[in-house]
Structures are given as structure tokens and as C-alpha cells.
């Protein structure tokens, strides 16, 4: 580092910190003024209220004046809350005011201007000391190289010359070092971030966003987007940063309450919970599909994880075949025909007598089957009920009651409105096995039947929806999502991490067509070392990712006489490093076996859908529960040929291996799985 430049940079950092302190003090003064104004208005309100009700009021005498005073108080309270949030943000940002800088000279400027980038704007007297990373001009930092370039803003395209990119390492308000670079990829700061140990919460990546990630984050298209991202490509982080960008870009139209994240599990929801707050935004509403479905169905059912657990234990081929059928686009197409035609025929019109009013069977047939044929069933019933009420010509006060009673009578004209029975009619007509309880692959079709019959009453309104782990959903799910949410959606996932069926790029193409989405790929993996990433892809049998050149230790495949003892020996070594460790077993029965045989492993926290990772560093879990999270060290026991032998087993191994940041072990007491025999370091003990 140049000493003169370093001194200049430190001087600027102190200037920014001073401005932050000044802004905080100014905000505190404004809060005090607000509090005085609120106190005065409350006194006026109180005195006037007393005068009004005693008949002594001289200056105030009507309700409008009280409403005005109350509105003023509310406005000042909102201002006060906003100022407190701003003080909190500034206090946090003072520790690391900015992380980067670029120099850009537009066509109408004589000299390059310096642009410092941070999590939030630092501005005083119309001077931007630090720019918000989401500002239009900051795209230059993430995407462009030196030389002639341009960026787009509300005023149009701004052309100019980019002459410098600088990254800073600032901790606790102190500048440790800076790095000049033309590219923001595979650099020292990125490598430093990637080399860190895993934490219990996902962190923002704002200082190391890569070009392909930035393009997705800043996409201004609200239409549906599908992101196929390899393991460790940062797709979930990118999605959360995109939310932050949209809230900034469209702050007058989009609020945090308008965002819904459909998470794969409660564990994952907890894991990502701190990202948006670290970017200065509030937490969005996050739920799982199964929590949502449980409320809409009003009853319980077998979850996908429960079914997969049974399947992996028993390896029942019929179960796999059932999943394959209900997860197919062909199943959806037949089901859509059933929704459009067959369910309608469950309605058997007849002549209805309502007091002196008679509506013939022929009239009902004509209205229901002909005039209203393009409407869903519940809409047809709504229209018919309104038609009956209008024919009665009752008073407005009685109209709604009559509509309600008419609906009840009309629904009785269906052969059945039991959604499970109706679903079984469909299954039977397609030579599929009927069900006596709702399984995970039946939920979406049953909810679609309920939507068609009654309309789904849901509290999950949104203007933008993020669906994570999209490979775990079926075409029926995506059709349901389009029914529930008419807004733009961002689907994230990795087809190679599917553990219930084998998916391909052809599946993505069909899904893109069904959801009318654009598709974007994130093909670079940042999570694991080069050794782990290469090994993981060899398990898969294909190269699907570009690897960041972060070297680490070799992957170890250990052949042993006793799996439990071998795992204990690994733990004795790895636990000394004070890192997070996960033992990822194929099944729950393997977890029970290890914990029964080892007092050490017994102390490991079992990760399931209701777990959190906070304050824990030692975990034992299954691949389906571990998806989306990461650990410094991963151990996969019982990795033998008998245990991992088919295509879905291969995907389970792939998912397990891609959870590891720095170190990966496979342990077997029998012949190792053939998926592990491609290239490996083998240890026998």
C-alpha cells in the first residue's frame, strides 16, 4: 500500500465518521423538538377536550380541530420513529462506513469524481460522502472494468470513463488496508470472506457481490424469474439483496409488508433472518408452504420430509413412482382438464323454489353451463346467488343474507363438495391409486380443487413473492402459486439438489414455459474449497459449476471397521479447531444409531424443521434438513455401496457434500459407494 494514499484514505474515513456523528446529533435535536411539539399538542388536545365537554371552550369547539391535532401528533410520532431508526443505522454504519470506492468521470465533467459505497447513504448539505450500494451509479462498481462505460438512471444513459476501483477493509471504524483492482472477483477480500468459518446466521454479501449476482439483484423486471443456481452460488443471498434493491428503487410503491418469502423450513427461515436488517431493512414475512397449506386446509397431513424419510429408509419403488407421476407436467395437464370440465359436472341443477319465486332447472343449466362457462365454479355460484337475490327484489339490508342462503342451497346441488372425495374421483379416472389421507404431493391438487370450488381465503397477500428451493415443488405447486399470487415471483433452486426425483434442464425449460418466466443461471460456486467443489461434481458425474480458486484440504474417504469410532476420531481432531461441524446421515435411524453408540455424538444438536442454529456449533441431521445451510466441516457416515446406490442416493450425497465449507469426510465400514470411487484420497483405519 502507498503510505501517502493510505494517509489520505484514513483522513477521509475520519471525515465520514465526523459527519456521521454530526448527523446523529442533528437527528437527536430533531427528536427533542418533536417531543416538545408532541407534548404541547397533547396538552392542547387535553385542555380543549375538557373545555369541549364542559361547555367552556373558547378557542376550540369542533371535532375537526381535534382530528387535526391528533393527525399532527401521529405525524410527529412517525417522524420520531424514523429518526430513531436513522440514528441506529448511522451508529451501526460508523463501524464500517463504506467498503468500496470507484472513480468515474462523466462526459460533461473535467475531472474524475470519487464515489464511496456503503450499506446506506451518508449525506450532508447535499454532499454525498457515501453512496448507497443500491444507487444506479453504483452498478459501475460491481459490473464494469476500467475505460469507457455507462450506467442508466432516471435521466437516461450516463456515459463516461471508469478509472479506479478500490476495496477497503474497515473494522470498528479503523482502516486496516485497501486493495486496488479492476475486477471484483476472486480478489483478496472475497477470498478472505470465503475463508471464514460458518456462522449461525446468513450474512449480507454487499461488499463482495459479483457481476452475475449484481445483474440479477438489479433486474427491474417484476415479472417471474427462475434462478437455477448451483450449490454455493449465493442464490438465496442474491434474492434477499434483490428485495433490498426493490424496496430502495420502488420505495413509494413497495413496502416490506408487500414481500413474502416462501422458505423450505423454519430452520432456514431463522438462518436468513438477519440479512435484510443488516442492509437497513426490516424483516419480511417468511413462512413455509406447509404452514400456509395447513391453515388453508384446516387439517394436518404428512409432510414431504416425513415421506422422504420413510422412502429413504424403505427404498419402496412404488413410492418413487407415485412421486414421479404426481410431480410430472402430464399430471398437471390432466388435472387442469379435470378442474375445467369434470368438477363442473358435479353440479346437478334442479328447479329451485324460493317462496313465491321459482327458477327452473333449464334456467340454471343455461346460466351455469353456458353463460358462465368461462368462470371458475365459485364465481358461477356467486353470480347465481346474486341472480336469485335480484329476482326477489328484497331490500338492501336483506340482500346479503339472501345471497348467503342461496349459496348454501346451490352448493348442496353438487354431488359432493368434499375436496378429498373429488380428488379421488380424479385419481380413479386416471387409473391412479386413491388416497385415504393427504400426502405432501396431494396438497397442491387438493388446494386447487378448494380454490376452484370456494376460492381460497388466504391472508398471504403480496406484491412480490420469493419461492426458495423450487426443485422441491411440483408443476401443480407452481400452478397454485399463480392462482394465489398474481404478482411477480422469484423462484430459486438447484435441480441437482432434488432428493425426491431426477430433474434436468428440460424440466427447467417446461417450468419456464408454464410460469411464463425468464430464466437466469448462477453457475459459479463460492461456498466450498476447490477440492470439495470438484469432488462434489464428480459425485454427480457432471461438471455444473465454475469453481472459485480457493484451495483447501483434500476430501477424505475413510474405510473403517467401525463407523462410529471413526467418526469419533475425526471429531477429536476437528473439534479442536472450534468450528461448526455437521454429521449428515442418510436417515433418522442412522442418527439414532450413532447417538446410541457414542456419548460424544449424543451431545450433538439434532437439526430438524423446527430447529435454530443459534449458539450451537455441533449438529447431526439428514440431507433434506441441511439444504440451504453450511458448516465448516461435514462428515457423512455409512457412505457404503449398499446405502448409496441409486440416482436419488447420489443426489443425497451431492447435497451433503456441498454443505461443507472447508473440510469433507466420508466414512464407511463396507465397500464405499461407487459414487465416491471416482477420485478421492482414501484413508483406512
Residues 266-275 have pLDDT tens digits of 888 888 988 9
**Which of 393 and 206 is assigned the larger pLDDT?**
206
pLDDT in tens, 18-28: 999 999 999 99
Confidence of residue 62 (pLDDT cuts 50, 70, 90): low
The greatest distance separating any two alpha carbons of the chain, rounded to the nearest whole angstrom, comes to: 98
Q: Looking at residue 200, what is its pLDDT?
A: 79
pLDDT in tens, 537-570: 999 999 998 888 889 999 999 999 999 999 999 9
Global pTM exceeds 0.85: yes
Give me 604's grid cell.
450433538
Given a cut of 50, whether residue 188 has pLDDT beyond it is yes
Q: Looking at residue 328, what is its pLDDT?
A: 96
Q: How far is CA 174 from CA 206, 256, 279, 656, in A?
A: 19, 33, 21, 39
Given a cut of 70, whether residue 675 has pLDDT beyond it is yes
Give yes or no for a contact between 138 and 115, defined as CB atoms under 8 angstroms apart: yes
Give yes or no for a contact between 378 and 452, defined as CB atoms under 8 angstroms apart: yes
Give me 96's grid cell.
464500517
Residue range 226-250: mean pLDDT, rounded: 95
Q: Which residues contact 337 (CB under 8 A, 6 or more apart)?
A: none
Q: Looking at residue 224, what is its pLDDT?
A: 93
Q: Looking at residue 614, what is its pLDDT?
A: 67
Confidence of residue 685 (pLDDT cuts 50, 70, 90): very low
Residue range 213-228: mean pLDDT, rounded: 90
pLDDT in tens, 141-187: 998 889 999 999 888 999 999 999 999 999 999 999 999 876 554 56
**What percentage of the chain carries pLDDT values higher than 90?**
64
Q: Looking at residue 2, what is its pLDDT?
A: 86
Give yes or no for a contact between 197 and 661, defined as CB atoms under 8 angstroms apart: yes
Q: Where are the alpha helices (DSSP H) in 558-617?
A: 563-574, 588-597, 599-602
Distance separating alpha carbons of residues 491 and 517, to the nearest angstrom: 9
Distance separating alpha carbons of residues 433 and 446, to the nearest angstrom: 15
Q: Looking at residue 357, what is its pLDDT?
A: 77
Q: Looking at residue 41, what is its pLDDT?
A: 84
Distance separating alpha carbons of residues 269 and 613, to the nearest angstrom: 11
Confidence of residue 48 (pLDDT cuts 50, 70, 90): low
Given a cut of 80, whether residue 299 has pLDDT beyond it is no
**Which of 610 and 23 is assigned the larger pLDDT?**
23
Q: Looking at residue 187, what is its pLDDT?
A: 65
pLDDT in tens, 362-383: 988 999 999 998 898 999 999 9
Backbone angles phi, psi at 150, to 5 degrees: -160, 160
Q: Looking at residue 106, what is its pLDDT?
A: 94
Distance separating alpha carbons of residues 400 and 417, to the nearest angstrom: 23
Please identify which residue in the block is written with the cell numbers 430464466.
Answer: 519
Q: Looking at residue 396, what is its pLDDT?
A: 62
Q: Which of helix, strand or coil describes residue 618?
A: strand
Of the candidate ranges 117-121, 568-572, 604-608, the one whose mean pLDDT is the lowest: 604-608
What is the chain's mean pLDDT, rounded? 89
Given a cut of 80, whether residue 243 has pLDDT beyond it is yes
Given a cut of 60, whether residue 681 has pLDDT beyond it is no
**Which of 43 and 650 is assigned the larger pLDDT?**
650
Q: How far is CA 219 from CA 41, 145, 278, 419, 470, in A?
A: 46, 20, 21, 40, 20
Q: Which of helix, strand or coil describes residue 682?
A: strand
Exposed/middle/buried for 440, CB within 10 Å: 0-12, 13-18, 19+?
Answer: buried
Closest CA to 120 of 87, 152, 143: 87
Within 10 angstroms of residue 172's Cβ, the number of other Cβ atoms is 8
Q: Looking at residue 192, what is its pLDDT?
A: 78
β-bridge mates for residue 581, sequence order: 618, 633
Q: Which residues contact 80 (CB under 8 A, 6 or more apart)?
A: 31, 34, 35, 38
Given a cut of 90, whether residue 70 has pLDDT beyond it is no
Give me 197's grid cell.
468459518
Dihedral angle over CA of 607, 609, 610, 613, nearest 10: 40
Q: Looking at residue 682, what is its pLDDT?
A: 45
pLDDT in tens, 560-601: 999 999 999 999 999 888 789 999 999 999 999 999 999 999
Amino acid at each position: 500500500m502507498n503510505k501517502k494514499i493510505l494517509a489520505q484514505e484514513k483522513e477521509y474515513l475520519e471525515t465520514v465518521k465526523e459527519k456521521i456523528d454530526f448527523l446523529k446529533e442533528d437527528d437527536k435535536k430533531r427528536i427533542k423538538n418533536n417531543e416538545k411539539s408532541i407534548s404541547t399538542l397533547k396538552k392542547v388536545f387535553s385542555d380543549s377536550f375538557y373545555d369541549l365537554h364542559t361547555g367552556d371552550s373558547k378557542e376550540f369547539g369542533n371535532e375537526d380541530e381535534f382530528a387535526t391535532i391528533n393527525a399532527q401528533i401521529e405525524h410527529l410520532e412517525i417522524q420520531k420513529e424514523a429518526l430513531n431508526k436513522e440514528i441506529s443505522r448511522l451508529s451501526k454504519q460508523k463501524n464500517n462506513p463504506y467498503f468500496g470506492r470507484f472513480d468515474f468521470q462523466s462526459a460533461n465533467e473535467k475531472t474524475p469524481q470519487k464515489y464511496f459505497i456503503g450499506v446506506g447513504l451518508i449525506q450532508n448539505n447535499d454532499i454525498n460522502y457515501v453512496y448507497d450500494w443500491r444507487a444506479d451509479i453504483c452498478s459501475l462498481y460491481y459490473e464494469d472494468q476500467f475505460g469507457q462505460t455507462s450506467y442508466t438512471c432516471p435521466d437516461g444513459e450516463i456515459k463516461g470513463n471508469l478509472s479506479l476501483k478500490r476495496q477497503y477493509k474497515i473494522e470498528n471504524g479503523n482502516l486496516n488496508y485497501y486493495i486496488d483492482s479492476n475486477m471484483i472477483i476472486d480478489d483478496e477480500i472475497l477470498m478472505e470472506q470465503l475463508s471464514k468459518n460458518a456462522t449461525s446466521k446468513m450474512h449480507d454479501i454487499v461488499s463482495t457481490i459479483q457481476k452475475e449476482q449484481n445483474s440479477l439483484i438489479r433486474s427491474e423486471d417484476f415479472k417471474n424469474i427462475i434462478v437455477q443456481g448451483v450449490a454455493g452460488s449465493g442464490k438465496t443471498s442474491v434474492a434477499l439483496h434483490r428485495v433490498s434493491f426493490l424496496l430502495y428503487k420502488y420505495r413509494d410503491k413497495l413496502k416490506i409488508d408487500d414481500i413474502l418469502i416462501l422458505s423450505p423450513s423454519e430452520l432456514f427461515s431463522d438462518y436468513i433472518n438477519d440479512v435484510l436488517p443488516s442492509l437497513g431493512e426490516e424483516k419480511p414475512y417468511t413462512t413455509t408452504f406447509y404452514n400456509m397449506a395447513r391453515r388453508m386446509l384446516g387439517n394436518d397431513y404428512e409432510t414431504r420430509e416425513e415421506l422422504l424419510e420413510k422412502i429413504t429408509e424403505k427404498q419402496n419403488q412404488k413410492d418413487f413412482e407415485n412421486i414421479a407421476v404426481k410431480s410430472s407436467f402430464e399430471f398437471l395437464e390432466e388435472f387442469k382438464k379435470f378442474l375445467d370440465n369434470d368438477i363442473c359436472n358435479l353440479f346437478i341443477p334442479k328447479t329451485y323454489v324460493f317462496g313465491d319465486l321459482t327458477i327452473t332447472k333449464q334456467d340454471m343449466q343455461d346460466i351455469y353451463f353456458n353463460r358462465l362457462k368461462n368462470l371458475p365454479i365459485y364465481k358461477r355460484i356467486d353470480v347465481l346467488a346474486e341472480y336469485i337475490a335480484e329476482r326477489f327484489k328484497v331490500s338492501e339490508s336483506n340482500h346479503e343474507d339472501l345471497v348467503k342462503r342461496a349459496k348454501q342451497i346451490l352448493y348442496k346441488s353438487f354431488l359432493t363438495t368434499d375436496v378429498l372425495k373429488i380428488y379421488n374421483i380424479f385419481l380413479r379416472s386416471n387409473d391412479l391409486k386413491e388416497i385415504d389421507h393427504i400426502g405432501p404431493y396431494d396438497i397442491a391438487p387438493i388446494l386447487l380443487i378448494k380454490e376452484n370450488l370456494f376460492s381460497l381465503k388466504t391472508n398471504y397477500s403480496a406484491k412480490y413473492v420469493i419461492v426458495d428451493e423450487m426443485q422441491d415443488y411440483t408443476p401443480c405447486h407452481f400452478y397454485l402459486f399463480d392462482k394465489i399470487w398474481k404478482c411477480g415471483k422469484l423462484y430459486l433452486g438447484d435441480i441437482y439438489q432434488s432428493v425426491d426425483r431426477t430433474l434436468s434442464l428440460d424440466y427447467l425449460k417446461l417450468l419456464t414455459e408454464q410460469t411464463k418466466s425468464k430464466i437466469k443461471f448462477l453457475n459459479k460456486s463460492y461456498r466450498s474449497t476447490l477440492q470439495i467443489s470438484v469432488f462434489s461434481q464428480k459425485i454427480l458425474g457432471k461438471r455444473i459449476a465454475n469453481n472459485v480458486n480457493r484451495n483447501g484440504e483434500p476430501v477424505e474417504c475413510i474405510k473403517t471397521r467401525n463407523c462410529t469410532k471413526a467418526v469419533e476420531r475425526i471429531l477429536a481432531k476437528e473439534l479442536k479447531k472450534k468450528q461448526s461441524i455437521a454429521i449428515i446421515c442418510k436417515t433418522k435411524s442412522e442418527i439414532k444409531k450413532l447417538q446410541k453408540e457414542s456419548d460424544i455424538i449424543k451431545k450433538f444438536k439434532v437439526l430438524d424443521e423446527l430447529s435454530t442454529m443459534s449458539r450451537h456449533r455441533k449438529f447431526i441431521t439428514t440431507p433434506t434438513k441441511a439444504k440451504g445451510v453450511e458448516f465448516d466441516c461435514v462428515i457423512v457416515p455409512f457412505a457404503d455401496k449398499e446405502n448409496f446406490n441409486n440416482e436419488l442416493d447420489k443426489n443425497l450425497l451431492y447435497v451433503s457434500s456441498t454443505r461443507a465449507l472447508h473440510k469433507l469426510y466420508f466414512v464407511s465400514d463396507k465397500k464405499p459407494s461407487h459414487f465416491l470411487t471416482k477420485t478421492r484420497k482414501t484413508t483406512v483405519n
